[in-house]
Amino acid sequence: MPAPCEVAVKSVIPAIRAYIAKELTQTHKMKQTDVALLLGITQTAVSKYISNVRGQAIRIDQTEKIRSMMNDIASQMADKRVSGPQLMLEFCSVCKAVRQNGLMCQLCERSDPTFSNTLCNICRIE
């Protein structure tokens, strides 16, 4: 079974980037090139996140808490109040909330057919 962080890096992190890229371009009216610089990715990647080509393996905006966390990150990024290591810590906080809410369990089941969602509580441990 892959470690939860291995599953998260392939699915949750891209979903966070997609949500934040959309928030920055739509709500904060930022250009894709500026969003790319803030996120440390290419403008092409931003375009794919915005057009739902990437970052769609998991819906992480299902809870108000997680949406609020991501909206706050986007606002902080737009106002240039967070970047670099602090930004990564913010992403980790969202990822932890996604895991603790059980939103990633289906991905773990898909990545390993022997995995039993009912027997696992790894992500729910604080």
Task: Write down the pLDDT at residue 62.
Answer: 86
Q: How far apart are CA 87 and CA 84, in angstroms?
A: 5
Task: Write down the pLDDT at residue 94.
Answer: 96
Task: Write down the pLDDT at residue 120.
Answer: 75
Token pair for 9: 């890096």
Q: Which of 14, 50, 15 is nearest to 30 (CA)?
A: 50
Token pair for 22: 């959309």
Task: Write down the pLDDT at residue 103.
Answer: 87
**Which CB contacts under 8 angstroms, 24+ apart, belong to 79-86?**
83/38
Q: Are 19 and 60 in contact (CB under 8 A)?
A: yes
Amino acid letter, 44: T
Q: How many residues does the chain have?
A: 126
User: What does each of the 126 residues of the chain score in pLDDT, given as a tens digit?
Assistant: 678 888 889 999 999 999 999 999 999 999 999 999 999 999 999 999 999 999 998 999 989 999 999 999 999 999 999 988 999 999 999 999 998 888 888 887 777 777 776 767 777 766
